Amino acid sequence: MVEILYFVGWTFMLYWVHRIIHVLPVLRDIHLQHHVYINKHNASRWHWNNLFLFNDTWICTLDVWLTDVIPTLIFSAVTGAWWIFVFYYFWAALVQEKIEHNPRVNLYPIIGSGSWHLVHHRSSRNNYGLFVIFWDIVFGTNQYV
């Protein structure tokens, strides 16, 4: 039961980090470079550099570290729930690129992925959630294609 609460808390934190990063000028500029890259390229292919949490370009890597990796490390350190960071690492290193930015994947409403997440890349006012769409529903930012 505690693990579920940690997971819920972690996804809540990532939702707000992702939403806030769209408002803060310097961080927004970094994050929007990720949006531009995904919109221009087929970023749904796995590459060995994902094992090092390096994504696409240096600026996209900086973005993923600021929005996902560092907040997850801090959350895991504060809560002692290191399994969350292990889970996140395996997701980011092995699965994320195949699911999150792949327009052929539609796991809605179970997981925020593929076509659902790509709505966020076209209109950055919706679909901030990582893994779950729950927080987007709660805070009114959910938009299904």
Question: Exposure pattern of 32-65 as b/e (b: 16+ CB <10 Å)?
Answer: bbbbebbeeeebbeeeeebeebbbbeebbbbbbb
**Rounded distance between C-alpha atoms, residue 88 and residue 76, angstroms:** 10
Nearest to 87 by CA among 18, 8, 7: 7
First to last CA, the chain: 33
pLDDT digits (tens, 9 = 90+) for 70-115: 999 999 999 999 999 999 999 999 888 788 888 888 888 778 888 8
Enter the pTM of the model.
0.91
Question: Of the spans 10-14, 38-42, 96-100, 122-126, which averages the highest pLDDT?
Answer: 10-14
pLDDT digits (tens, 9 = 90+) for 15-26: 999 999 999 999
Task: Kindly list the distances between the CA atom of residue 112 and the CA atoms of 2, 52, 57, in Å, as whole numbers in the listed order.
Answer: 23, 23, 23
Residue 44: its pLDDT value, please?
A: 67
> What backbone torsions phi and psi does residue 52 show, to the nearest 5 degrees?
-100, 15
Residue 87: its pLDDT value, please?
A: 96
